[in-house]
Amino acid sequence: MQQAVLLEPCWITNVDKLTALTVNDYFGLSNSLKFLGIESLYGPNWESQKEQLCGLYPDLCPTLLNFKIFDYKNNLGESQEICVKEAETLMQNYYQDRLQPFANYYTQGMVTKPEINLANISSAIPIKI
């Protein structure tokens, strides 16, 4: 094989819950998560993490506690552990209203990344799902 196309998985989340979070909330939460050293949400350390986050953001606490990442039946609490970067990517895509790669400097105002134009992939490169 000489060439390959690698695409990251894109999953559908319950985005209507994100409407309660403003872009300013995103900036604050993103920076606070980094400051607190929190790298994943809804995982084994969630009980202590949510206390820290709710202490910093009491107004956002109900949204954080009730946010369900997945709405599949028989899923533990209809949520599942998610890494912070993936959660930030979902929020960035929600705020930008498009699918784009993660923007490393989103909180510094560099909010868009070039979209990936799949039409530019040569038909000579086989694509399989």
Q: CA-to-CA distance for 59 and 74, rounded, in angstroms?
A: 30
Q: pLDDT higher for 70 or 2?
A: 2
What pTM, to 2 d.p., does this model score? 0.68
pLDDT in tens, 59-109: 888 877 776 655 555 444 555 778 888 888 888 888 888 777 888 888 888
Residue 110, φ and ψ in degrees, nearest 5:
-90, 80
Collapse the DSSP code of 40 into the 3-class scheme (helix H, G, I; strand E, B; otherwise coil) and give the result.
strand
**pLDDT for position 74:** 46
Domain boundaries, the chain: 15-101
Contact 100, 112 (CB under 8 A): yes
